[in-house]
Amino acid sequence: MKKYQHYINGKWVDSAVKGENIVVNDPATEEAIGEISCAVKDDVDLAVEAAKKSYESKVLVDMPPMERASLMRKIAIELRNASKEGGKILCSENGKLLPAAEFEFIDAANYFDYYSGLTDKIEGRTIPVNSNVMDYTIYEPFGVSAHIVPWNYPISMLARSLSCSFAAGNSTVVKTAELTPLATASIFAKAIDNAGVPPGLINIICGYGNGAGNDLTSHKDVSQIAFTGSVKTGKVILHAAAERAIPAVVELGGKSAAVVMPDADLDKVVNSAKGAIFGQAGQICSAMSRVIAHKSVKNQLVDKLSNLANSLKVGHGSEDGTDLTPVISEEQLQKIENYSRSGQQAGANAVAGGKRVDRKGYFFEATVFDNVQPEMTIAQEEIFGPVLSVLEYSDEEEAVSIANNTEFGLAAGVFTNDVNKATSMASQLNGGQVYVNSWFTGSVATPFGGYKQSGYSREKGQEAIKSYLQLKNIGIQL
Ligand code: NAI
Ligand code: MG
């Protein structure tokens, strides 16, 4: 079995303390595919120390913006070149489709390219105070930035926060998710290294959340945190940040709803569902996990959605023709089974799927629940699996009320051909992003984040860079 290592201070190393190894499984085969020694506090200390030293050396801060940009574009080129090799590892550790795994490296490259363009646009302003005072603002990095990454998009989510933090001039310690460390520790780290990033600026370790993760977010030399993951862990991270009064970017989960109006093109809803709830086995923070359909079209839509669910081919992510890939772990599979059981017990009707697939691997059937009521657990909680809940409404007010009636507010959608109705809905739905007649219309350039419990930060786009910078006001008595 292949051994993987942490990337600290420009070198690949085992944990400083001989101890537990984290063994990574292919969720489609349940076979072990690699192992990495588990990072503990000593490793966190080494990685933070390397990051702190490189920050204090000013190697990045003093690098002219154009040079920083060119270094970032080199990283992008390396990531693009590594997409085949990296995609293979990512496909087998995460379970996702091979093209989707390869695309994560392309997406990561896009982030580095995008934020390379902002390195020379971090501008302050001058403020009139008095004729004998010159007052101006500048933006400065925080220092050591800690990035805690989830397992659903290990490369993409990492690049999203890291590229922005790097463009802003921070040094970084990344903790990968314990379920998916391999492609990051090997191929992603190699891209950083090949591009010529000075040692210590970016460090990558793998350990458990309540071990190395906790040691990292509570480390005295960490000055800012970026977290993507569950609401529950997000709150733990925010507590750790509050304890030391440092800022944290939190991008959390969702229970996002698509409102389907009477005039909607139902095939557009079905096409969106294919990627947005059954793609990636539904393990997407902004998954379209609820459909709220007008009573005049609900039955017809349920038929179409259940036909879609039944047509999906289950398989390994690397097999041609696979539509439905496994979920990440046995634990996650059991969680989804429990949700499915609770839906059926509460009176919802599984018109497609509803149980685990009878084969090796952590597969759950593409599931469509009809007759879901707004208060049911399956309409309220994030399932993080290929399970779609369909609810019915009679008038627009009711649609908005059902859509907004969860603790989340990540994404929302509306399907209608009436532009007035679309814009009215878009303004009433709680969500950091609203999609019309589609799902996932954004790019690296569009700000992304949550309302309510889904978090309050924004990643992506020009807005995100301010999360990685602090503002200084300077006044000069002339
Ligand atoms: P999680 O939120 O616990 O894990 C995400 C990351 O946080 C991992 O790297 C983990 O090691 C780290 N972490 C966990 N506890 C930590 C702590 N105390 N201090 C620092 N870091 C810590 O997600 P988990 O448990 O793997 O999955 C559970 C649920 O989270 C899923 O069912 C899903 O609902 C949600 N989730 C949402 C994601 C999103 O993109 N919004 C991504 C991953 C999970
Ligand atoms: Mg957890």
CATH number at residue 342: 3.40.309.10
Please indicate, yes or no, whether residues 191 and 268 belong to a single structural domain of this protein: no
Nearest listed ligand to the Cα of residue 336: 1
Tens of pLDDT, residue by residue, the chain (478 residues): 999 999 999 999 999 999 899 999 999 999 999 999 999 999 999 999 999 999 999 999 999 999 999 999 999 999 999 999 999 999 999 999 999 999 999 999 999 999 999 999 999 999 999 999 999 999 999 999 999 999 999 999 999 999 999 999 999 999 999 999 999 999 999 999 999 999 999 999 999 999 999 999 999 999 999 999 999 999 999 999 999 999 999 999 999 999 999 999 999 999 999 999 999 999 999 999 999 999 999 999 999 999 999 999 999 999 999 999 999 999 999 999 999 999 999 999 999 999 999 999 999 999 999 999 999 999 999 999 999 999 999 999 999 999 999 999 999 999 999 999 999 999 999 999 999 999 999 999 999 999 999 999 999 999 999 999 999 999 999 9
* 58, 158, 181, 198 from 163: Cα distances, Å: 18, 8, 18, 15
* 61, 156, 183, 199 from 406: Cα distances, Å: 43, 27, 35, 45
pLDDT of residue 352: 98
Which CATH number goes with the domain that contains 69?
A: 3.40.605.10
**Which run of H or of E encompasses 240?**
helix 231-243
Nearest to 157 by CA among 222, 111, 89: 111
Rounding to the nearest 10 degrees, give the CA dihedral for residues 182, 381, 271, 365: 70
Please indicate, yes or no, whether residues 144 and 97 belong to a single structural domain of this protein: yes
Other CB atoms within 10 Å distance of the CB of residue 270: 16
Which residue has a Cα nearest atom 8 of ligand 1? 177
Which residue has a Cα nearest atom 29 of ligand 1? 230
pLDDT of residue 122: 97
Cα torsion 63, 67, 68, 74: sign: negative
Asked whether residue 348 is domain-assigned, the answer is: yes
pLDDT of residue 269: 98
Please indicate, yes or no, whether residues 85 and 16 belong to a single structural domain of this protein: yes
Please indicate, yes or no, whether residues 405 and 460 belong to a single structural domain of this protein: no
Please indicate, yes or no, whether residues 357 and 407 belong to a single structural domain of this protein: yes
Q: How many domains does the chain have?
A: 2
Residues 25 and 330: their CA atoms lie apart, in Å, by 11
Please indicate, yes or no, whether residues 247 and 164 belong to a single structural domain of this protein: yes
Which residue has a Cα nearest atom 35 of ligand 1? 230
Nearest listed ligand to the Cα of residue 251: 1
Catalytic residues: 251, 285
Nearest listed ligand to the Cα of residue 286: 1
Tokens of 454: 């889904």
Residues 365 and 203: their CA atoms lie apart, in Å, by 38
Mutate to test the pocket of ligand 1, among 230, 236, 334 (most ligand atoms within 8 A of CB): 230
For residues 201-240, b (16+ Cβ closer than 10 Å) or e, as one string? bbbbbbbbbebbbbbbbbbeebbbbbbbbbbebbebbbeb
pLDDT of residue 284: 98
Please indicate, yes or no, whether residues 229 and 269 belong to a single structural domain of this protein: no
pLDDT of residue 449: 96
CA of 159 to the centre of ligand 1 (A): 17
33 strand-pairing partners: none
Residues 188 and 101: their CA atoms lie apart, in Å, by 13
CA of 233 to the centre of ligand 2 (A): 7
Other CB atoms within 10 Å distance of the CB of residue 99: 12
What pTM did the predictor assign? 0.97
Asked whether residue 190 is domain-assigned, the answer is: yes
Asked whether residue 436 is domain-assigned, the answer is: yes
Please indicate, yes or no, whether residues 202 and 319 belong to a single structural domain of this protein: no
Asked whether residue 448 is domain-assigned, the answer is: no
Please indicate, yes or no, whether residues 400 and 466 belong to a single structural domain of this protein: no
Containing structural domain, residue 460: 2-252+455-477
Asked whether residue 449 is domain-assigned, the answer is: no
- Residues in contact with ligand 1 by the CB-under-6-Å rule are 148-152, 175, 177-178, 208-210, 213-214, 217, 228-230, 233, 236-237, 252-253, 285, 332, 382, 384
Please indicate, yes or no, whether residues 187 and 236 belong to a single structural domain of this protein: yes
pLDDT of residue 245: 98
Which residue has a Cα nearest atom 12 of ligand 1? 209
pLDDT of residue 266: 98
Please indicate, yes or no, whether residues 101 and 7 belong to a single structural domain of this protein: yes
Percent helix / strand / coil, the chain, rounded to 5? 40, 25, 35
The Cα angle at residue 193 between residues 207 and 168, in degrees rounded to 5: 80
The counts of H helices and E strands in the chain are 15, 20
Asked whether residue 450 is domain-assigned, the answer is: no
CA of 1 to the centre of ligand 1 (A): 26
Provide the 8-state DSSP code for 448. Answer: B
Which residue has a Cα nearest atom 42 of ligand 1? 229
Tokens of 441: 């219309």
Beta-sheet pairing, 133-141 with 126-130: antiparallel
Asked whether residue 197 is domain-assigned, the answer is: yes
Nearest to 205 by CA among 162, 175, 172, 171: 175
pLDDT of residue 385: 98
Nearest ligand 1 atom, CA 251? 41
Please indicate, yes or no, whether residues 51 and 192 belong to a single structural domain of this protein: yes
